[in-house]
Structures are given as C-alpha cells and as structure tokens.
C-alpha cells in the first residue's frame, strides 16, 4: 500500500484576513505572490528570502528570528515557491519516503505523528509505504520510492539491508548498514525499569509476552529482559514466556497468547507484555478467566500509546517516546539531505524510556 500526502498545502484564508495576493490582474483574479514581492514586503534581499524558503544549508547563518519572520510572512501572504524553480536551483524534490509495517493505533501511528509534525514545519511532501511485513514489499519499496525522486527515506520497525544513494534513517532498525542513522530505545534500561517495578511489588513469578518474530525489537528486547533479570535476581520461567503470532496489530493477539498461558496452569502474579496493545488483550483474557487486575495479576505494557491512560484499569507501562523518535528521525534526515557532503552524521541516536505507573500493577496478594 503506497500513499502520498502533501505537507505544503495552505489552508483557505479566513474572511477579513490578508489574502497574500498583493495585487489583482486585469481579469480581476489575484496575482501570485513572487519571491521578489515577498522580499520587498519584508525589506530583505531576495537572496536571503530564497535561502530560507529553500532550506539551503547556508541558511543556518541567518538569525533564527529572521527565518521565523520570513516563514510567518510567507504564510500570511500565501506565498508558494515554484516547485520547478526549487528543483532547478537545488536538484531536490523536497519529498521523502516513509516505510512502515502498517498504519494503525499504537507504535507506527505515534512515530508517524512525530515525523509528520517535523516535515509539516519544514514544508516537505512525503510518501508512506506500508509493507505488512511482506519480504517482497520490503525489498521493492525502496526502489519504488527512489523512482519517485525522494530526497531521503525513513524506515520504521523495518528490516534494512539496502544500500541507497540517498540518506536513510531507521527507527528501531537494529542494523549496521552503512549510510544509515539509527534511532533506538535504550531497551536495557526499559527492561530493568519494568522488572524492578514488579520485583519491588513482591512479584516473583512473572509471565512475559514476547513480540512477533518479524518485529525488529523482539530479539533485542528479550535479550535485555533476560540480562536485566539476571542483574536483579529475578528468575524467569520458560513456561511463563509466550510469543505473539500473526501480523495483526490488535488486542486479540495478546488475548490469545494469554489464554494459552492460563491453560498451562502455571501460576504467575505479574505479566510484562511486548506492547500496550497486547497488554490490553491480556487483561481481557485474565478477566474472562475471573482474575482481577491487579488484584490477582499485575500487568505492565510497553509504548504508552494514547489509550493506555484510559483503559480500565489504567495501564502501567514503559513509555517509549515514539512521537519524539519520529521527530528526531525526520530532523536527522532533513539535516543530512541539506548537507550531503557531511560524513559526520550520527550513526546511532539512543533515547531513554520512562516507567509510567498507573492502576494495572499492584502489590502481590499472598
């Protein structure tokens, strides 16, 4: 599924507001605002306005207050740069590609919102390609996006094995490909936060829901959990570990594996889920089994999606700053696009998790 959106479209000008057309033509229709007219309006040189509007690398030398004044006037006057002129001057399409597993509530949606916010602010178009974990589409989409003349590419939770002639930023990519900047979560710290929280509440038998085999975070997070458990002296029981199956992103996956876990008749007092969506499904299965959360079983999720704070009970979770990660990815990509000759770009940017304690976790009732 390949979708495109324009992030440069301007909303209609409300009645009574300045329309941005400084004069009307002989046919009565408003004239298009030119770069020179915008520069005259600001009492600046056309060269200065052009550098800022085209995000030229040397524009960083222009005071930020001046840049903001130029962008504000461009919005007020409804100035739109000529795409063909921008292409001729910069040889850039001002378009990026974004590759995601799927677009639904949860991880991908929050990351995308951060990417969108930064691209919107910087006046970029983008294409979104959703591969649904199909290997053929993961291989095909980069070439397809290159064919649409994107200036760079962001891959979200997607295995990355490509060598492209454009800058690439991955989120949760966990790869060492050359030419790639990786935005990663500190999974070691995240695992320790969750296990220490449950340990301090007196839990000794903790069930773990692992992610699907195709998820980029699954292997890395499981390794972090086992190492954190060893450091904290928390025993992990093989029969209390289950893995999500299927490529859907709904609570039903967590519901199914939790039912399977309960059928093993292995006692546990806490459950640490791979993500909030599976944690919500797990709570449903526990309740159907007449178990109280957190009275009988405490549940901890991962991600802190928007609905986590509005579940019943409200979900304790490890907050992964997904929107911030999306913004960092977009910012990093555009910086690399603007400075293609600069080889000092970051290969890895690690962000910190946070434990958010709500009502789904509590002390053990012995």
Which residue ranges form the domains of the chain, and what is each CATH number? Answer: 93-185+322-351 (3.40.50.2300), 187-320 (3.40.50.2300)
3-state class (DSSP) for residue 125 = strand
Least confident of 133-142, 198-207, 228-237, 297-306: 133-142
The pTM of the full predicted model, rounded to 2 decimals, is 0.75
Residues 6+ away with beta carbon under 8 Å from 61: none
Model pLDDT for residues 150-188, shown as the tens digit of each residue? 999 999 988 888 888 899 999 987 776 778 999 999 999
Please say whether the beta carbons of 245 and 253 come within 8 A: yes
Model pLDDT for residues 71-129, shown as the tens digit of each residue? 888 888 888 765 555 554 556 678 899 999 887 767 888 899 999 999 888 878 888 98
Question: Which residues in 5-31 are b (16+ Cβ under 10 Å) and which e?
Answer: eebeeeeeeeeeeeebbbeeeeeeeee
Average pLDDT over residues 270-290: 97
3-state class (DSSP) for residue 97 = strand
Task: Supply the mean pLDDT for the chain.
Answer: 85
Query: Which of 41-50, 57-66, 78-87, 249-258 has the largest mean confidence?
Result: 249-258
Supply 19's token pair: 């329309």
Supply 55's token pair: 């995000």
């Amino acid at each position: 599924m390949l979708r495109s959106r324009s992030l440069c479209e301007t909303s209609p000008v409300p009645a009574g507001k300045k329309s941005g057309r400084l004069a009307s033509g002989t046919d009565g229709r408003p004239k298009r605002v030119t770069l020179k007219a915008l520069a005259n309006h600001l009492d600046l040189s056309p060269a200065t306005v052009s550098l800022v509007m085209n995000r030229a690398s040397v524009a960083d030398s222009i005071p930020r207050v001046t840049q903001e004044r130029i962008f504000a006037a461009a919005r007020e006057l409804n100035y739109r740069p000529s795409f063909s002129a921008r292409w001729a001057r910069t040889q850039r399409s001002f378009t990026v590609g974004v590759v995601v597993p799927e677009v639904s509530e949860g991880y991908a949606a929050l990351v995308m919102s951060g990417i969108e916010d930064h691209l919107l602010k910087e006046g970029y178009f983008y294409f979104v390609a959703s591969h649904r974990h199909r290997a053929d589409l993961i291989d095909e989409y980069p070439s397809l996006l290159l064919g649409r003349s994107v200036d760079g590419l962001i891959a979200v939770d997607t295995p990355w094995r490509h060598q492209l002639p454009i800058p690439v930023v991955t989120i949760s990519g966990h790869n060492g490909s050359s030419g790639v900047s990786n935005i990663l979560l500190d999974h070691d710290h995240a695992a320790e936060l969750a296990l220490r929280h449950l340990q301090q509440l007196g839990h000794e038998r903790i069930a773990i829901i692992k992610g699907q085999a195709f998820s980029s975070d699954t292997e890395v997070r499981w390794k972090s959990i086992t190492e954190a458990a060893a450091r904290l002296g928390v025993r992990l029981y093989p029969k209390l570990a289950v893995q999500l199956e299927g490529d859907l992103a709904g609570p039903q996956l967590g519901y199914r594996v939790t039912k399977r876990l309960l059928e093993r008749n292995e006692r546990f007092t806490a459950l640490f889920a791979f993500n909030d969506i599976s944690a919500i499904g797990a709570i449903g299965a526990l309740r159907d089994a007449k178990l109280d959360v957190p009275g009988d079983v405490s549940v901890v999720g991962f991600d802190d999606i928007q609905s986590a704070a509005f579940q019943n009970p409200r979900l304790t979770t490890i907050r992964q700053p997904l929107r911030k990660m999306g913004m960092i990815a977009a910012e990093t990509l555009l910086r690399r696009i603007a400075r293609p000759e600069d080889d000092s770009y970051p290969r890895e940017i690690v962000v910190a998790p946070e434990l958010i304690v709500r009502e789904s976790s509590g002390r053990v009732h012995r």
